[in-house]
């Protein structure tokens, strides 16, 4: 919802968009002022690592090989299986 508002706010304004999509403007502004969550920060870190491994291996690694390479590199994340 907020991404849509961000995209069109310059053209239409926040309040008119929120009125049409039935979304409180205060909710939009509160979400924008909130710092990123720990999950979002960790996801950004993982995305960078995944991109690094993917590029280093000629963009050929699939999910399984990617998972095992990240584990070999010592990269762990919450919710990942503990299998070695």
Distances (CA, A) of 71 to 2, 45, 52, 65, 80: 35, 15, 14, 10, 10
19 and 43 inside one domain: no
Specify if 12 maps to a domain: yes
**Cβ atoms of residues 2 and 31 within 8 Å:** yes
Q: What percent of the chain has pLDDT over 90?
A: 87
Specify if 83 maps to a domain: no
Specify if 54 maps to a domain: yes
Q: Which residues contact 54 (CB under 8 A, 6 or more apart)?
A: 61, 66
Tens-digit pLDDT profile for residues 28-45: 999 999 999 999 999 999
66 and 53 inside one domain: yes
Range of the domain at 66: 38-72
Number of domains making up the chain: 2
Encoded tokens for 29: 């502004």
């Amino acid at each position: 919802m907020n991404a849509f508002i961000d995209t069109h706010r310059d053209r239409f304004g926040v309040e008119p968009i929120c009125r049409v999509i039935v979304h409180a403007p205060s909710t939009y502004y509160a979400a924008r002022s909130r710092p990123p969550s720990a999950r979002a920060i960790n996801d950004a870190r993982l995305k960078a690592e995944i991109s690094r491994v993917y590029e280093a291996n000629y963009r050929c690694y699939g999910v399984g090989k990617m998972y095992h390479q990240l584990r070999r590199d010592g990269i762990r994340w919450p919710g990942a299986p503990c299998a070695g």
